Structure 1
């Protein structure tokens, strides 16, 4: 369940009413969750005020997608989400519509190597 400022709540035990709440400290990009869709790999996709988050229930891990990953905007709207019968997802935001096939989304868990370019040293003559 998405909340307006309280993060994302997962129902762990329906009989006892036990929930786990995920918020920014647990990896959610923002505590306002507007929409939640499930893909064919059982991941949940959450639209927020700071991008889209893919939540993997088996690990409890989030991966955030924002403008640095190619999204045209990071702020989404309440009620603006839909999954088509083909699995394509649609999320509406303040600047338009984002559409993608979650099975085609790739992430790189290995950070790029960091290096400084060599600089030429000058000597006085």
Structure 2
């Protein structure tokens, strides 16, 4: 990549970021809702809650033919629990902890873990 290409892509990135709100530009991991104008935000730590899924303990080695199928079941179960809790408790948005950090957001990990176990019975 020569210098002109670098400048071209750099300018496109800066212009694109200028049209996003600051929170949207920073938010990499949003599990439910939209960050913009969130009045009742919450957060989870995905690496913590995913281990509570029964599918997590069933994951074979990565090169096993069933790995992706079981991984998808685990992720679907966890994401469904996040959505269920958000809707039941009235949260506008659920993000990964500190991605972005939103003032006043609440930890809903314990509630989501309970919901995962309830849904997977």
Greater CA radius of gyration, 1 or 2? 1
Structure with more relative contact order (C-alpha pairs < 8 Å, separation 6 or more): 2
Same-fold status (TM-score > 0.5)? no
TM-score scaled by length of structure 1: 0.27
TM-score scaled by length of structure 2: 0.28
Which of the two has greater strand per residue?
1
Which of the two has greater helix per residue?
2
